[in-house]
Amino acid sequence: MEDILLSFETILNFQTISILLIGVVAGIIVGSIPGFTITMGVALTLPFSFSMDPINGIALMMGVQVGGSSGGLITASLLGIPGTPSAMATTFDGYPMVKNGEPGKALAIGLWSSFIGSIISGIILIFMAPILAEWALEFGPWEMFALMLFGISAIASLSEGSLIKGLISGILGIMFALVGSGPLMGIPRFTFGFSELLAGFNFLPVLIGLFAFSQLMNDIKNPPKPLNIDKNTDVTYPFVKVIKDMWKSAGNVIRSGLIGTFVGILPAAGGSIANILSYDVAKKFSKNPSKFGKGTKDGVIAAESANNSSVGGALVPMMAFGIPGDAVTAMMLGALIIHGIQPGPLLMENQPILANGVFISFFLAAFLMLAVQSFGIKIFLKINKIPFHYLVPIVLLLCVLGSFAVNNRIFDVWVLLLFGLIGYWMKVNKFPLPPFILGIILGPMVESNLRQAISLEPNLLVFFTRPISAVLIILAMLSMAYGIYSNNKSKKQIV
């Protein structure tokens, strides 16, 4: 108890709170710019954090991460381009919602879902970190393989229209992910002697190419009707309605928050998987799955509460074991190491003030994010007033810059262009893009976990004798079957 009070004392001072605030604002900005990721933003804060107290350094990074996770929402809804990889599924319903003339609603609902998602994961983090971290240790390569299989099964339900085209798209994604040095033994694959390809296709330029670049080309060809916001007086969505909407979808909010937290806890999963998975689950649980993709609030709620709650989830293994849950927590641990604090299973015991400080700064960041964004919504909505012939080149420029910055090489800019063309071609020919992304993220994880599992225990039955793995594999089967079933049903309805 004394420790907690002491932590409050270290956190609740002008300096730390202003650092958090700067972090949150910076996070919202990098999160909302397509091409710039939260990881990049946090990496930029690394050098500053060295000259600060450890807790201030962590607060700065925390602010960027929490702010960034909600910042992706802005561009995802208003432009149909995910501002960060973890806002991918937000585009599925956020953008249609804006096209339907409800931009204020899309942002307000997304914002509150982000906030509640953060709070859910924060509560879980504080009360259950040690237990959950212990449970996550049960996830060996067998369980991780089964979970990733479950993730891949979402291809079936995310293939709007044609299942065959969805499968082709997913397989293409997996194939592109094969390029580079192999995940386990580092053997170069499909690099054709180019050392640039050893690192594979970086996920970020691929994603911006597929989603942003192709969307922009599409917009140039068929310019979207400008939203007449001036005449529409009801741009900002009244607070009472937000609360009412959220309350009606309470089950969805909580479920998505839990999915996000849990996915965040598992090593190397992270926000982008949480975002898509919880969208897919929400669609399956929904009474009106046909509304998904056309601008339903439940789609936005699921996507946004999951990506923010995965942030709290990623802190669980970091606090309990000193094992990072994602790239950002890895950098937080790096900053602690530079300050001479060894992150490990004894972190909470040896550094109670710091540990509580991490928890408190997480909550504070969530509240600051809510405040800054509520204030900013009116400004963000003005994006729609920028004439299209200015907006498109600016966004393109930022995409190119971001692709360059991801690894400081021009090569990634070419990757962006290549995947932009692929994405545009797929769009024109009605190949769904989400399965491609699922393939490119999950393909390598399926592979490395399967290979680890087999090299540890050649007997494949182990996948079914380990209970968690067995349950997940059955769920994956069911999810696939259900996806195919509902896909057929919706096709019949169209006919």
Q: CB-wise, 338 or 474, nearer to other proteins?
A: 338
Q: For other proteins, which residue of 15, 50, 239, 474 counts as binding (CB under 8 A)?
A: 50
Q: For other proteins, which residue of 13, 138, 232, 251 counts as binding (CB under 8 A)?
A: 138
Q: Does residue 429 bind other proteins (CB under 8 A)? A: no
Q: For other proteins, which residue of 101, 130, 345, 352 counts as binding (CB under 8 A)?
A: 345
Q: Does residue 337 bind other proteins (CB under 8 A)? A: yes
> What's the one-letter identity of residue 53?
D
Q: CB-wise, 75 or 153, nearer to other proteins?
A: 75
- Residue 212: strand, helix, or coil: helix
Q: CB-wise, 320 or 473, nearer to other proteins?
A: 320
- CA distance between the termini of the chain: 64
Q: Does residue 342 bind other proteins (CB under 8 A)? A: yes
Q: For other proteins, which residue of 321, 424, 431, 463 counts as binding (CB under 8 A)?
A: 321
Q: For other proteins, which residue of 101, 130, 224, 267 counts as binding (CB under 8 A)?
A: 267
Least distance in angstroms from the C-beta of 21 to other proteins: 23
Q: Please list, residue by residue across 380-418, b when 16 or more beta carbons sit within 10 angstroms of its beta carbon and e when fewer do.
A: bbeebeeeeeebbeebbebbbebbbbbeeeebbbebbeb
Say how far apart CA 159 and CA 475 lie, in whole Å: 19
Choose one: 18-26, 41-49, 102-110, 161-169; the region binding other proteins (CB under 8 A): 41-49
Least distance in angstroms from the C-beta of 325 to other proteins: 9
Q: For other proteins, which residue of 455, 477, 478, 489 counts as binding (CB under 8 A)?
A: 455
Q: Which x/- pattern, by CB under 8 A, does the window 403-422 give for other proteins?
A: -x--xxx-------------
Which distant-in-sequence residues (6+ apart) come within 8 Å of 442 by Cβ? 148, 151, 152, 273
Least distance in angstroms from the C-beta of 459 to other proteins: 14
Least distance in angstroms from the C-beta of 400 to other proteins: 8
Q: Does residue 175 bind other proteins (CB under 8 A)? A: no
C-beta atoms surrounding 475 within 10 Å: 15
Q: Are 306 and 260 in contact (CB under 8 A)?
A: yes
Alpha helices (H) along 100-228: 103-137, 141-158, 163-177, 203-207, 214-221
Q: Does residue 394 bind other proteins (CB under 8 A)? A: yes
Say how far apart CA 306 and CA 303 lie, in whole Å: 5
* Residue at token pair 């180019």: 194
Q: For other proteins, which residue of 161, 344, 352, 376 counts as binding (CB under 8 A)?
A: 344
Token representation of residue 419: 């995947």
Q: Does residue 140 bind other proteins (CB under 8 A)? A: yes
Q: Does residue 390 bind other proteins (CB under 8 A)? A: yes
Q: CB-wise, 50 or 425, nearer to other proteins?
A: 50
Q: For other proteins, which residue of 243, 250, 346, 371 counts as binding (CB under 8 A)?
A: 346
Q: CB-wise, 74 or 331, nearer to other proteins?
A: 331
Say how far apart CA 204 and CA 33 lie, in whole Å: 13
Q: Are 275 and 87 in contact (CB under 8 A)?
A: yes
Q: CB-wise, 158 or 400, nearer to other proteins?
A: 400
∠ at Cα 272 (281, 283), nearest 5°? 15
What percent helix, strand, coil does the chain show, rounded to 5?
80, 0, 20
Say how far apart CA 3 and CA 479 lie, in whole Å: 46
Q: For other proteins, which residue of 1, 2, 14, 47 counts as binding (CB under 8 A)?
A: 47
Say how far apart CA 391 and CA 18 lie, in whole Å: 32
> What's the one-letter identity of residue 241?
K
DSSP state of 85: G
Q: Does residue 213 bind other proteins (CB under 8 A)? A: no
Q: CB-wise, 27 or 483, nearer to other proteins?
A: 27
Q: Which x/- pattern, by CB under 8 A, does the window 220-259 give for other proteins?
A: ----------------------------------------
- DSSP string across 279-303: HHHHHHH-S-GGGTTS--HHHHHHH
Contacts with other proteins by CB under 8 A lie at 43, 46-47, 50, 137-141, 180-181, 183-188, 195-196, 198-200, 202, 267-268, 317, 321-324, 327, 330-335, 337-338, 340, 342-347, 390, 393-394, 397, 400-401, 404, 407-409, 448, 451-452, 455-456
